[in-house]
Structure 1
Amino acid sequence: MIVEKKETYSLISTKENSIQEFYKYFDKQADNFKNENLILELSNFINYKKEDFLLFLDIAQEKKNNGTSFVIVNAKANIEDFPEDFNIVPTIIEAEDILEMEAIERELGF
């Protein structure tokens, strides 16, 4: 797991060979990022199933309840396969846009 602190979020990238392996490690570290916006960049070269991404669904919901954002970056994921409020995008720029939009929504009370 590689962590880069940015101005408004932490970018976490994988170096593990599977999403399940990465999730196990990330889940143990999740409390360290409790009050931070997170972008998870999951390698496009890792083989995955829809269920692998859904491992992060509870964390995404918890982040939303805490007033922070959670976005997964992976160009191979089909966003149509996931709940509408589960943020999966193909690029980091789009992930940053989601963080900005959600910050505005929170400011407006949505």
Structure 2
Amino acid sequence: MKVDQKKHSVIIKDTQGDFTSFLMKVTHQYKTFEKDNIVIDLLAHNDLTISDIKQLMPLSKQHKKAKKSFVIVVADFDYNAIPEQLTVVPSLLEAHDIIEMEEIERDLGF
């Protein structure tokens, strides 16, 4: 697992290639990242299913309750099949754009 701090966000990237162990690490170390916006970089995974992505929902809900952004980056995926509660985008650039928009919305009181 690789963690990069960018401005007001943390990018967490899986370097092992094992989604299940990555999810466990992120969950156990969540307290370390809870004050920042989180980007989960899963670009290295080509075999993820919708049920894999849905496993991130509890973390996403918890993070969004704390008024922080939680964005998952996955390439080549059926984004229409993903529940509305999850924010999933195809690139890191889009993830940063989403975070900026959500920051503006929070500043405006939405």
Normalising by structure 1, we get a TM-score of: 0.92
Instruction: Name the count of aligned residue pairs.
Output: 110
| Partner-residue secondary structure (3-state), 2:29 | helix
| Partner residue in 1 for 2:99 | 99
**Deviation by residue 1:10-55 (Cα, 9 ceiling, x = unmatched):** 1111112222221011111111111110111113444221111111
Sequence identity of aligned pairs in percent? 31
User: What are the ranges of 5 or more consecutive residues in structure 2 without an aligned counterpart?
Assistant: none
Cα RMSD, aligned residues only: 1.2
Is the CA contact 1:19–1:53 (under 8 Å) kept in the aligned structure 2? Answer: no
Q: List structure 1 runs of 4+ shifted beyond 2 angstroms.
A: 43-46
**Deviation by residue 1:36-94 (Cα, 9 ceiling, x = unmatched):** 10111113444221111111111111111101101011112221111223110000110
Is the CA contact 1:2–1:12 (under 8 Å) kept in the aligned structure 2? Answer: yes
* 1:9, distance to aligned residue in structure 2 (A): 0.4
| Partner residue in 2 for 1:20 | 20
Aligned partner letter, 2:24: K
Is the CA contact 2:17–2:44 (under 8 Å) kept in the aligned structure 1? Answer: no
Distance in 2 between the 1:78 and 1:44 partners?
Answer: 16
Is the CA contact 1:3–1:12 (under 8 Å) kept in the aligned structure 2? Answer: yes
Distance in 1 between the 2:47 and 2:18 partners?
Answer: 7
| Partner-residue secondary structure (3-state), 1:76 | coil
Mapping for residues 62-81 of structure 1, pairs under 5 Å? 62-81=62-81
Distance in 1 between the 2:44 and 2:17 partners?
Answer: 11
Is the CA contact 2:14–2:44 (under 8 Å) kept in the aligned structure 1? Answer: no
